[in-house]
Each structure stands twice: as C-alpha cells, then as structure tokens.
Structure 1
Amino acid sequence: MSSRLVVRERGYRRGRWGNVGEPHVTPRRFRVAVGAALGSLCVIIVTGALVRLTGSGLGCMDWPRCSESKFVDISSGHTAIEQLNRLFTGVVSATVIVVVLSAHRLRPRRKDLVLLAWSLVAGVLVQVVIGGVVVLTGLNPFANMAHFLVSMILVACGLALHRRAGSPESSPTWRSVPVALRSAHAVLFVLVPTAIVTGTVVTATGPHAGDENAVRFGFALKSIARVHSVSVIGTLLVLAYVGWRTMRRSSFAAATSGDYRDAVGNMIFVGVVQAGVGWLQYLTGVPVILVAVHIAGATAFWLSWCALALATPTNPSHTVVTR
C-alpha cells in the first residue's frame, strides 16, 4: 500500500468522526444557517400567539396526536391553526439541527459556538415537552407562560450565536465603560426581564387564553397591567439615560462603537413603539390585532435588548475615563 493511499485512508477514518476529510462550513454560511434558525424561532412565537388569540389552543385535544383517532387533523379552523403551529415546530427543529451540524463542521472550530448550538437543541426539546403539558393541562396559565418565556431564552441564544459567529471568540470588554453606565445596564438586566414576565402575566390574566373555558389567573387586570407598565416605564427611563450618555460630548461618547450606538438607538425606538402599542391595546379593550402586534413587538424588544447586551461598547483603540 502506497504512502499516499495510507494518508487518504487515515484521513477518511478521522473524517468520519468530524476531524478531517469531511466538508467544512465557512463562517459566512454558518451565520446564514443560524439566521434561518433565529428567524424560525421568532416566527413560531407569533404563530403560537395566533393560536391563543384565535381561541385555537385546544383545537387539538391530544398530544402528540391531534386527537385519539387522527395524528393530523385540519377538519375545522381551530384544529387547522393549531396543527399548522405544531407542524412549524418541525421547521424550527430542522433549522436547529442544521445549525448543530454546521457548528461541528465549522472551520476554525469554536467550542463556544458548538455549545450555543446545542443549547438551541435543548431548548427546542424543552419546548416540545412544555407544549404537550400546555395541551394536556387544558392551557394551564403557568405552562403557557413557561412556553413563551423559554421561547425568549431560545431567541436570546440564537442571537448570541449569530453575533458571536461573526466576531472573535473573546467577549466584549466593559472595563472602559463608566461605572454609572455599567450600573444602568445592571438595572436593565432586571427591568427588561421583569417587563417580559409581567407582560405574560397580563396575557394570562386577560381574555385571550386560547379557549373560552381555559383557566386564567385571578388577578385584577388593571392592577397587573399597572405593574407591567411601571417596569416598562422604568426601562425606558434607564434607556433614555444610556442614550444621553452615549450622545453627549465626553470621552466615552467619543470612544463608543457604532455597533453599541446602533443597539441603543434601536432599543429606544422599539421600546417607545412597543409602549405605545401596549397603551393603545389597553385603552381599546385588548383587541386581537393589537395584542398580536404587541407580542411581535415584545419579541423585537427582547431582541433589541439582547443585541445591546452583546454589543461591544467601545472601540479598543480609545481611552475612556471611567466615572
């Protein structure tokens, strides 16, 4: 056996285990795959919301089958809507599997990207289980909340994977950021999740539970809506401060990266629009259309916050007075 043949045979054997000898994935193609997965994760949040808003939450009375007699059933409008939402889970699963396979074949290979890719798989599996619990418990409000909040975590992981895939393995440094601004970001780390969680409580208390017989929280809708609005207003006030520190004449403003400035501006814009939609839907008796827009806006707001948290605050070449 010639030395060339031995090398090829050894390369093939190693390639079967993912080392060499298999097709590599470029960083650009990997980001495209992650972008597709992230998009599907966002879409299924909206389709899941439409299931509730159209009263189709129990369109399929069983899980994983739609009914005792049929695995797939589109005999009525409610069953069709619920069934399509379930089938779209297959699209999400496929895109996530592609991301994991691509992460293992990415060159140069990065452990942080592989771990984040597998976190998407774990999250989708958890969502499948929670989805079954939601149906089998008759749209339990706690299970419904968990379903939405895990979706938010998945979206955050997807965006983090997309951002890190386009940047060096090292994380952005905050050492050059003024202490007051770091404190503001710490407050946002509390306020933004609080706004998201209280928003789900409002939904679980309101009229759109997915079925007219579904159990709802017994809170007074006005009271829990006020709690939610306080967290949103607090978030916008802190964002206004962050925006001011970014724009005013200072050593930090001069050193601020374009990525960070864009993230701040985007979050302020989305936050103001989202607050306006929320206030309008409250004044008009939470109509289905506005609630759907508000849920899509909540996803966009969460994405904008994750983008801000992942942004590199300053350009490495600048010196900043941290005070």
Structure 2
Amino acid sequence: MAPVPNTLNPLELIARRWQPSAAFVRRAALATVVMAVIIVVTGGAVRLSQSGLGCSTWPKCTPDSLTPTAAMGINGLIEFGNRMLTYVLCAVVGLFIIAARARHPRRRSLTRLGWAQFWLVMSNAVIGGITVLTGLNPYIVSSHFLAATALLTVAVLSWKRAGEGDEEPRDLVARPARQLAWLLVAATGALTVIGTVVTGTGPHAGDAKKVHRIPLDWQEITQLHVDFVYIVVGLSVALWFTLRAVKAPAAPRRMLLELFACIAAQGVIGYVQYFSGLPEIVIGLHMLGSALVWIWVLRVCLSLRDRGPLQEEDPGRPAPSGTHEAPEPQAASALSR
C-alpha cells in the first residue's frame, strides 16, 4: 500500500499549524506516565471490589446493553468506569503522539514510543476483554497486569527521551555499575511477575463467586515474593556504594535515595497487609507502591547514561515577528570578515 501523502496526513497538517514547546512535549509524556499508574491502580480497585465480572461480557457490558444496568449495582459501574478510563488514556497518549509529531525538529524516536504506547493500550484492552470472557482466569489476569506494566515502562522511557537530546548514549559511570543497575531492573521485574502469581493464588479473585485460582500454595509464593524483595534491596544498596565509589554524578545518586524511600514504604505496606488479613485498601496502596518502585528503578538505570542536552528550539524556525535576535558568534564573525 502506498504511503499517505503528507498533504493528506492529519498529523502533518497539525504540525504545520501548531508548534508545541519542548516543555509541552515533556508534560505530555509525563501525563502518559500518570495515566499508566492510574490504570494500574483502578484495575486493582476493580479486582479488590469484586467487580471483575461487573460487566458480564465484552465489548458490551451485557449481551443486550453497552452500558451497565441498574440491576448490576455498584459492581457494574466500577467495571464499566474502568473501561471508560481506557478512552481517557487513549486521549492522553494521542496528545503525546500529536505533540511529539508536531514538535520541530521532528524526533522519530518520540513518535515511535508514542505509537508503542497506543498499541499496548489496544492490546491490553483486548486482554481485558479476554479476562472477562474467561471468567477471570488468573493467568489472563496476570498478563493483564503485566501488559499495564509494559505500558508504564514505555511511558517512562518516553518521559526520559522527551527531556534529553539525540546524541549517541554516553555512559556516565563504569560498565560494571551499569550492569549492576540492569541487574536491579531484572530483579525488580522478576519481583513484579512473582507478585502477579501471589495475586493469582490469593483470596482476592475479583468476583464474589468461586473463581479458578492458580494451584500453588499462597504462603509459599508470598515467601518467594519477600525473598525477591530482599534481593532488590540488596542490589539497591550495592548500587549505592558502587555509585559512590566511582564518583557518579549527583542526579543518579539522588534518584537512588528516592528509590530507597519507595522501597521502604512498599515494605511497610506489604507487612501491614500480610499481618492485618489483606485489607483491600492496603492492597490497593501496595499496587500503587509497586508502580512507583518500578518507575524509580527505571529512572535510576536511565540516569546512568547521557544523550546530550535537549534542543529547546528549532534553529530553522523563523523568529516571531517583532523580535530581533543577535546573530550567533560564528555567524557574526563570518559577517565581520
């Protein structure tokens, strides 16, 4: 199929009429991160309120109605409300794509990340539908959460790329320190995956009716989850001493301290929920904490390389009318000759 001519491309037409600032693109990227966290938390609220089957089918809410009926009660409203948040998420991701495309100079890496978010949202919507149609199969529920985590990952990458330049990546620390940071990312990712298994074996299945659970011992899986928490803490401490030893810049060390705060808060929440009988509100806070820990782990790892300063303005754009800019030093010297 032939490519769409630029004259018919709506993104190209918008780019000709609207020039967002670099700060606007960064804020749009940050908004996608915030929305990805909200989707994780509200998805947990659906499960914890036993509203996973509040809408009995998909894509409609009932076989005869697109929206919940009065007979479905609060559970139908909660499940349908979570579905509607997908449209809000799509709007935020769409704004980021449009802003990244309209920004001059054009940065294809940003638009690719934006489209990656869009397709992750679409795929997760389908997984959510399969979750309902399979009666909250715990394996599908786990994949639903992991797809949301993948979306959060790409959103964080987009936010980072929106605030840096396009030079070749340059390491700010020695290679062993970078490898240790990637090991921390891998361990945290494994911790997240094991957390979904804990969810699949635990008592909060997502609906008041009997729902199939993963046939594993819940307490043993929980203990494995705790063991990986200690691994993540140990790797974080090791990375802290390593960054101090190699005299890393202040920014990654500060982010690592912020990560320590997230892990500490998450640990407290985890023990509270375990010893208080798994109250729903505390589990919801634990899901929020898991998203924040993942964000900061990624930020720590990404802060250990540099891609140069962000070009705030397009040098090829004409200055607004009524303004007079001094020529750059090189141009001035050329004129003087």
TM-score normalised to structure 1 length: 0.87
Counterpart Cα distance in 1 of 2:11 and 2:51: 45
Are 2:261 and 1:266 equivalent residues in the alignment?
Answer: no
- Percent identity over the alignment is 28
- Local SS of the residue matching 1:285: coil
Deviations 1:284-314 (A, max 9, x none): 2211111111001001111111111211358
In the alignment, what sits opposite 1:18? 12
| Structure 1 residue 171, shift from structure 2 partner | 5.5
Q: Is 2:178 the partner of 1:186?
A: no
TM-score in terms of structure 2 length: 0.83
Q: Which residue of 2 aligns with 1:289?
A: 281
2: distance between equivalents of 1:194 and 1:177?
25
What residue in structure 1 maps to residue 58 of structure 2? 63
1:31-84 C-alpha deviation (Å, 9 max, x unpaired): 122222221111111111000001000000011110012111152010011111
Give 2:93's aligned residue: 96
Question: Which string of whole-angstrom CA distances, capped at 9 and with x for unpartnered residues, describes residues 207-264 of structure 1?
Answer: 11101322111111110011111111001011011112334xx4x22xx223211221
The one-letter amino acid of 1:73's match is P
The one-character-per-residue Cα deviations of 1:112-143 (angstroms, maximum 9, x if unpaired) are 11110110111011111101000000011111
Report matched runs for 1:123-134 at 5 Å: 123-134=120-131
What does residue range 60-209 of structure 1 map to in structure 2 within 5 Å? 60-73=55-68, 75=70, 76-170=73-167, 172-174=169-171, 177-209=173-205
Structure 1 match to 2:3 = none
In structure 1, the partner of 2:217 is: 220
Q: Note the C-alpha offset of 1:16.
A: 6.4
5+ long unaligned stretches in structure 1: 1-11, 317-323
315 and 111 in structure 1: CA distance in 2 versus 1, 3 angstrom threshold: closer
Does the residue aligned with 2:12 lie in a helix, a strand or coil? coil
In structure 2, what residue type is equivalent to 1:33?
A: A
Q: Distance in 2 between matches of 1:290 and 1:144?
A: 20
Q: CA deviation at 1:172?
A: 4.2
Cα deviation 1:259-290 (Å, max 9, x = unaligned): 21122111111112112211221122211111
1:35 pairs, out of 25, 30, 39, with 30
Residues 13, 187 of structure 1: CA spacing in aligned structure 2 closer, same or farther, 3 A cutoff? Answer: closer
Contact 1:172–1:311 (8 Å) recurs in 2: no
Whole-Å separation in 1 of the counterparts to 2:167 and 2:45: 40
**Would you say 1:46 and 2:41 are equivalent positions?**
yes
> What secondary structure does 2:170 align onto?
coil
CA distance in structure 2 between the aligned counterparts of 1:77 and 1:242, rounded to whole angstroms: 47
Residue range with higher mean Cα deviation, 13-22 or 46-55: 13-22
- For 1:136 and 1:289, how far apart are their aligned partners in 2? 27
Deviation (angstroms), 1:179: 4.4
> 2:319 maps to what in 1?
none
Give the conservation status (yes or no) of the 8 Å contact 2:11–2:98.
no
Q: Is the 8 A contact 2:164 2:307 kept in 1?
A: no
Detail structure 1 runs of 4+ shifted over 6 Å in the superposition. Answer: 14-17
Alignment root-mean-square deviation, CA:
2.1
Task: Find the aligned partners of 2:114 and 2:271 in 1 and give their Cα distance.
Answer: 37
Q: 1:28 to 1:74 in 2, by over 3 A?
A: farther
Cα distance, 1:179–1:160 mapped onto 2, change above 3 Å: closer
Q: Which amino acid aligns with 2:196?
A: T
Secondary structure of the residue aligned to 1:278 is helix
CA distance in 2, matches of 1:111, 1:314: 18
